[in-house]
Amino acid sequence: MPEFKQPSSRKRAAAASTAAVAGVSLLAASLLGLGAAPGTAGESPHGTATPIKHVVVIFQENVSFDHYFATYPQAANTPGETQQGSGIAAPAFTAAKNTPKGINTLANAGLLAPNNPNSIQPARLSPMQAVTCDQDHGYTSEQKAYNAGLMDKFVQFTSRDSCGANQFGRPGLTMDYYDGNTVTGIWNYAQNYAMSDNHFSTTLGPSTPGALNLVAGQTHGVKEFSAAGAPVATPAAGSYTVRQPDANGIGTVTNDPDPVYDDCSNNSHASANNLAAMTGKNVGDLLNAKGVSWGWFQGGFAPTTPSTAGSPASCLSSHGNAAGAKVTDYSPHHEPFQYYASTANPHHLAPASPAEIGHNGQANHQYDLTAFNHVVNTDNMPAVSFLKAGMSQDGHAAYSDPLDEQNFITATVNNIQKSKNWDSTAVVIAYDDSDGWYDHVAATVKNSSNTADDAAWCQNAAAAGVPMGGGYADRCGPGPRQPLLVISPYAKKNFVDHTESNQSSILRFIEDNWHTGQIGDASADATAGSLANMFNFHHQRSDLVLLNEQNGTVAAITHTGNGRGNGRPDSGS
């Protein structure tokens, strides 16, 4: 891997200025003139703008930043607590002395009880309350909760306070948060790698818009189909699948329709919903055009009943969660590439061989999660991998929880760190939406909308002249603030980035690193904030931090002896 010399501040400023004039990406600008090999600006000899040759995006479900980080890095460490389900002792958490100050948490904002403006005060959830009620996270409901940016109507518009057996609920549940005694693994990754306290959903709303914004930066371009797969020529305005359809029936996704190019959409659950297909391009199309290997790997994607002539596949495998509930693994509306004809694997075909993984073939880059384990420690690990846990481990309230999620994330990251590809890998942990959980920060509206689906927050922005990208309605954003972490030998250590970013910033990082170009058509990638400040591309760390897969504590810190750089310490910039 090439070494990069640290430039002078004058040289960095000149490079940034040159990039701004030339329209070069911010990521490439960070390496302009910094010892990179000749050729494309910032490009390494292996065709990437940075030393990162593998990006792994672990895309989880339904968490706001304050829900996991309200009191970071201070945990209650209450004696006698145990983890729901296992009954093992909850871990204590003590922050490193050099943990950054000024993190935009609920505690640092002075908005813990009794000082919160919402009608019910925030309260800590214990490890014994891991499985909770699901909250209302609709596009319009979230805007109403924002109350034009005052952030004080969450109890009225997103809180769901009672639910099923073994699921915790209370009045004003939306206000509640976990600390390092429950989300111990996430807090330890933040302590040892880089996190953001200023990362948002690209738009408001639930899972499908978040997944589409990750891979395309675009929720407009959807066409509606019946549950049987027949085109719906003129969908009703405001229908479940399509908002604000034009004369051709093409509109915007604000809810969670299942993908039409997926056998399992209406063959793996009791409901029979209308279906959706996306037009336009996604990052898979861009990577294919450049010959870059990639794949989406999702729990439960392997069918339990294969497709046969005239009979679609079904996907009904399941696992238990911390509450003892049986949960189906596969969720079709969490799989964004299945909405696009170009990147779908409708019958859930397995790759013909491990050599196909990441490349063109019958699986068309869509795989069961287990396929990633076949390639992570090989030369065939894809350059870009998107990982989606089975539903019991994806973190979504009601059917998943932070303890089951922690088991998945730590096991996955440990596996990557132990692989031969770790020294050139960046793992990004991100979320598809907030679930409606309270967060005290509202980003300034960057993309407006003014329809019946929009509340005062977005309508006021439209009236004030905030543009509506592409003229496409119902893409108001940024949406709620969410956790974002980067785990890599090039990630800054115990670092908190304040750069504003959103889900499409991950898309932009991939585009810039592999020089794919952008999606176009008013995709959010064009204006998404950079993730570059979470990295130090001029220093490869030698420390390896492995976590306990049961409780998230630090299991081992080793040194690989592969660290390269300019003598700067692992922490800071």
Q: What is the rounded distance in angstroms from the CA atom of residue 329 to the CA atom of residue 185?
A: 22
Q: How many CB atoms lie within 10 A of CB 504?
A: 30
| Range 354-377 average pLDDT | 98
The distance in angstroms from the start CA to the end CA of the chain is: 20
Q: What is the rounded distance in angstroms from the CA atom of residue 100 to the CA atom of residue 193?
A: 12
Domain boundaries, the chain: 1-49, 54-573
Picking from 91, 43, 86, the residue whose alpha carbon sits closest to that of residue 548 is 91
Residue 174 CA: distances (Å) to CA of 72, 92, 132, 143 = 18, 25, 10, 15
> What residues does 487 pair with on adjacent strands?
427
Q: Can you say whether the dihedral through the CA atoms of 559, 561, 566, 567 is positive or negative? A: positive
CB 500 within 8 A of CB 441: no
For residue range 141-193, what is the model confidence (pLDDT) as tens digits? 999 999 999 999 999 999 999 998 899 999 999 999 999 999 999 999 999 99
Find the range with the poorest average confidence among 267-281, 389-403, 492-506.
Answer: 267-281
Quick one: pLDDT band at residue 271, thresholds 50, 70, 90?
Answer: low
At residue 210, the 3 state secondary structure works out as helix
Half-sphere exposure of residue 131: CA atoms within 13 angstroms, side-chain side: 22
Average predicted confidence (pLDDT) for the chain: 90
For residue range 18-76, what is the model confidence (pLDDT) as tens digits? 443 344 455 655 554 333 333 333 334 349 999 999 999 999 999 999 999 999 999 99
At residue 68, the 3 state secondary structure works out as helix
CB 534 within 8 A of CB 497: yes
For residue range 78-137, what is the model confidence (pLDDT) as tens digits? 999 999 999 999 999 999 999 999 999 999 999 999 999 999 999 999 999 999 999 999
CB 136 within 8 A of CB 397: no
The CATH code of the domain at 54-573 is 3.40.720.10
For residue range 437-462, what is the model confidence (pLDDT) as tens digits? 999 999 999 999 999 999 999 999 99
Q: What is the rounded distance in angstroms from the CA atom of residue 401 to the CA atom of residue 307?
A: 32
529 has pLDDT over 70: yes
- The reported pTM is 0.92
CB 393 within 8 A of CB 405: yes
Q: How many CB atoms lie within 10 A of CB 255?
A: 19
CB 522 within 8 A of CB 449: no
Q: What is the rounded distance in angstroms from the CA atom of residue 228 to the CA atom of residue 323?
A: 35
Picking from 316, 298, 420, 280, the residue whose alpha carbon sits closest to that of residue 365 is 298
At residue 370, the 3 state secondary structure works out as helix
> What residues does 275 pair with on adjacent strands?
225, 258
